[in-house]
Amino acid sequence: MTDDPRQGGRVVPVYAVTGGRTRAGDHDLPIEAVVTATAADSGLDDLQPEYRAILDLAHNPVALVEVAAGLGVPIGVARVLVSDLAEAGHIAVHTPEYTDGPPPQVLARLLDGLRAR
Amino acid sequence: MACVPAELIPLKILVAGGFGVGKTTLVRAVSEIPPLLTEETMTAASEGVDDTAAVPDKRTTTVAMDFGRITVDDTLVVYLFGTPGQHRFWFMWDELARGCVGAVVLVDLRRIDDSFAAVDYFESRRVPFVIGVNDFPDTGVHDEEAVRDALALAADVPVVRMDARSADSGIRVLVTLVEHALARAEARRAPAYGAATPM
């Protein structure tokens, strides 16, 4: 599991950080969910390095998939870590959860934005 | 602390097609960040699907995936995902396709059939998609009808000739996709007056 050369340099397997969890509770954050660090700076010193790295990334809005790439971990692992931080109130999660695709007014704004490029 | 707009809306667009058709190239051309490679694992994504038989070698459980980003305005940001086109990666597509704007299916005229799996997938899940015929140097004349026939496309699916290396060309394809997705979303919302009335 950890013999992947791309994880070279990592001493502790990422699954140790997540406590072996690859699922983040009842409903999974979508891959494009954007997270932002909240202002609560207390208690951060006790956090594991992976959590602190996520908080650093999330000073600006960043998607779950970018967190995974930034930490060099699979998306499933990033999802667990991000969910932990959200539960602890350290980050806010922005996800529209469109099941049937975005509504017309959102698509119209997207269209305007793309045409202006 | 960064100032975060109240309404931040992440959107996603998929870029699909056969191996080597130009998915990474297109993501790179239109993305404002260097395309990043990430990976998804079967253990994370396939629980509940329980179909490891679809993966011939259980050790090959990670799938690399390109993604890029376009910040559209203050609150809209689009993530682009270049996804492997083979059937055995569909467990990943189900997550990617959920709630997406739509997909660009890239086609290489020399290997049209390679893109059929992607077309079939998006048709069956009612995901809006457009066909981007990637302009390789030796592909010859663009015969739209041949593409439509080979891929059994519905009449309303746009077919666009493009150059995956060009940002302008890539954005034009995305505009075509969003126009198509918007038309479908509006049609879905608006009751079709007269539809229940015999002509």
Spell out the SS3 assignment of B82-109: ECCCCHHHHHHHHHHHCCCCEEEEEECH
Whether the predicted pLDDT of B177 surpasses 80: yes
Whether the predicted pLDDT of B127 surpasses 90: yes
Confidence class for position B186, pLDDT limits 50, 70, 90? very high
pLDDT score of A17: 61
Inter-chain CB proximity A108 and B81 less than 8 Å: no
What is the radius of gyration, based on Cα positions, of chain B?
Answer: 18
- Domain B9-45+60-188 fold is Rossmann fold (3.40.50)
- Give me the residue label for tokens 């990617």: B96
For B169, which residue in chain A has the nearest alpha carbon? A117
Whether the predicted pLDDT of B128 surpasses 60: yes
The alpha carbon dihedral of B116, B121, B122, B123 has a sign of: positive
Kindly list the residues from chain B whose CB atom is less than 8 angstroms away from the CB atom of residue A22.
Answer: 41, 43-44, 47
Residue A111 host element (H or E):
helix A104-115
For A68, which residue in chain B has the nearest alpha carbon? B38
Whether the predicted pLDDT of B59 surpasses 50: no
pLDDT score of B141: 67
Tell which residue, B88, B83, B69, has the closest CA to residue B18: B83
Kindly list the residues from chain B whose CB atom is less than 8 angstroms away from the CB atom of residue A96.
Answer: 9-11, 99
**Which is higher by pLDDT, A64 or B1?**
A64
The model's pLDDT over A30-51, given as tens digits with 9 standing for 90+, comes to 889 999 998 766 667 778 889 9
Contact (CB, 8 A) for B34 and B44:
no
Domain assignments of chain A as residue spans, ordered by start: 5-115
Provide the phi-psi class of B102: left if phi over 0, else alpha when psi is between -120 and 50, else beta: left
Tell which residue, A63, A84, A65, has the closest CA to residue A74: A65
A34 touches chain B (CB under 8 A): yes
pLDDT score of B43: 43
pLDDT score of B33: 85
Top mean pLDDT of A21-30, A86-95, B154-163 is at B154-163
Contact (CB, 8 A) for B77 and B102:
no
Confidence class for position A82, pLDDT limits 50, 70, 90? very high
Tell which residue, B27, B126, A114, has the closest CA to residue A106: A114
A48 touches chain B (CB under 8 A): no
Burial of B125 (0-12, 13-18, 19+ CB in 10 A): middle
For A57, which residue in chain B has the nearest alpha carbon? B2
Q: How far apart are CA B61 and CA B91, in angstroms?
A: 12
Span B160-165, mean pLDDT? 94
DSSP string, B36-87: EEEEEEHHHH-TTT--GGGSSSTT--EEEEEEEEEE-SSSEEEEEEE---SG
Percentages helix, strand, coil for chain A (3-state, rounded to 5) are: 45, 10, 45
Whether the predicted pLDDT of A94 surpasses 70: yes
Kindly list the residues from chain A whose CB atom is less than 8 angstroms away from the CB atom of residue B187.
Answer: none
A68 touches chain B (CB under 8 A): yes
Whether the predicted pLDDT of B2 surpasses 60: no
Residue B140 host element (H or E):
none
pLDDT score of B93: 81
Residue of A75, A80, A105 to mutate when probing chain B, most B C-beta within 10 A: A75
In chain B, pLDDT over 70 holds for what percent of residues? 73
Inter-chain CB proximity A94 and B9 less than 8 Å: yes
Token pair, residue B114, equals: 């390679």
B14 touches chain A (CB under 8 A): no
Q: To the nearest whole number, what is the mean pLDDT of chain B? A: 81
Top mean pLDDT of B44-48, B92-96, B128-132 is at B128-132
Whole-model pTM: value is 0.81
The model's pLDDT over A2-38, given as tens digits with 9 standing for 90+, comes to 444 444 455 555 666 666 665 555 457 888 999 999 8
B164 Cβ contact list (under 8 Å, min separation 6): B22, B23, B25, B26, B29, B106, B132, B134, B135, B170
Inter-chain CB proximity B182 and A111 less than 8 Å: yes
Residue A43 host element (H or E):
none
